[in-house]
Each structure stands twice: as C-alpha cells, then as structure tokens.
Amino acid sequence: MQFQGAFVFLSALAITTASPVHRRCDSGHIPGPANGVTYVLPSTGGPTPLPAPDTPLKHIVVGHGVQNYTCTAPGEKGAQAPGALSSSKWNNLTSKVLRTTSQPISTDPSSPFPAPADLSVSGVYKPIPFIGHHYFDANGVPTFSLHDNAELLKAQKILGIPAPSTADKGLTNEGAVDWLYLSDKGGSVGLTKVYRVLTSGGSPSVCGAAGEKQSVPYTTTYWFY
C-alpha cells in the first residue's frame, strides 16, 4: 500500500499554568507558548526517541485530518505514499479525547478543507483557535501553512518511530500512525521543524484489491519550532 498524502485541519493549542483558559483566549490572537512554562516534548517510552528540539518552541497545534492510501496488492497493509489550557486540562487532553470532536475534513481530495473555524473540544472551556492547514503540495512535499502562509514549513521527514502500544487506535480501530520528526526542506518561512506526536488512528486496513483507495481519519498534536 502506498501513501498518497494527507489533509489536516490545524488548531492552535497553548499551555498555561497560571491564567484561566478564558483570559488567554479572549484577546483574539493566536496563543503561543506561555512565559515561564517548561514544555517537554512527549515520548513514546520506546528504545528510539525522536531527536530533542534545539530551537525555541513556537506552537503546539491540534491536527484533525485524513491519511490517504492506495493499495498495490490485495491482502497487504499499509505503507504510507487543526485556546490556552491549564496544566491539568492539558494532561487530560489525550488523543482519544481529541477525536471525539466532529471530523472537520472531507475525504474528497478536490475540496478537503472546510471554511476556517475554531475547534470545540469536550472539556475545554472555549474553542481552540484555527491556525492553518497541513497537506502535501503538487511535488509531494509535506507542507504546513499557518496564518495564511505567514508561517510556512516545507518539510522533509527525518525520522519516524512507532506510536506506543497504548495509543488510541482511532475511529477505524486499525491503530495509530507513527510519531514523526520533520525539518525544513527549503522555502520555509518562520518555521524550521515540526514533531508529530500523540497520534490517534490513521493506519489503513488490509487491502481488498489493488488500486483500492482508503482515506483514514486521525488526530495528532504538532509541535512547531
């Protein structure tokens, strides 16, 4: 099975240990990392960790999207071709909780993205602000567009590691896609790297026939630097 690309709707997520949720969200701007808070990139706990970031954190983002696959042979299974929160709410914001929201992505590749809108998540006081999209461009380059390209990452995959065995298997119950580390491929603006962590779902099912296409929903968080 070959991975054909992904469409992801991105919503800005930030952490604060001091201010109530509504105080940081009422200002109308996209929240960033809070001052005085130490952010620790999640770990799978496995033998091979993702490389540690060496530049300042810019955004923590919730991604809701689809992974698109095309089957190359029957019976095979899958290689691959979007408010501020208190620390307690952040700790409870698992990948399974994230996917309880309505899927904001269409499986139609000609028109996958809905109009920009904030994301409502169960247990979070206010909607999480919309920040952008993730997709693969015409050349197959993973692209992250934030604030209408005011920040842009044209990325290349450096490393992928399996999601932990405890990861939520997603809506189709086929399993969580890998955690990834991607860096600038050239042509980026304001961003140099991104980590895909805390994945939920996105893995394909066993192919029924060659040429079969699958669009599998998934959620994740992206850490931008």
Distances (CA, A) of 168 to 164, 171, 176: 9, 9, 6
- Lowest-pLDDT range, 38-52, 72-86, 128-142? 72-86
CA distance 118 to 148: 15
Quote the pLDDT of residue 189: 97
Q: What is the 3-state secondary structure (H, E, C) of 67-102?
A: EEEECCCCCCCCCCCCCEECHHHHHHCCHHHHCCCC
| Mean pLDDT estimate for the chain | 76
* pTM for this predicted structure: 0.77
CA distance 163 to 158: 16
pLDDT in tens, 42-80: 999 999 999 999 999 999 888 888 788 888 888 876 544
For the segment 90-100, the average pLDDT, to the nearest whole number, is 48
User: Where do we find the tokens 């307690």?
Assistant: 88
User: Where do we find the tokens 């409502």?
Assistant: 120
Judge whether 145 and 152 are in contact, CB under 8 Å: yes
Judge whether 187 and 27 are in contact, CB under 8 Å: no
- Lowest-pLDDT range, 4-13, 16-25, 26-35, 39-48? 16-25
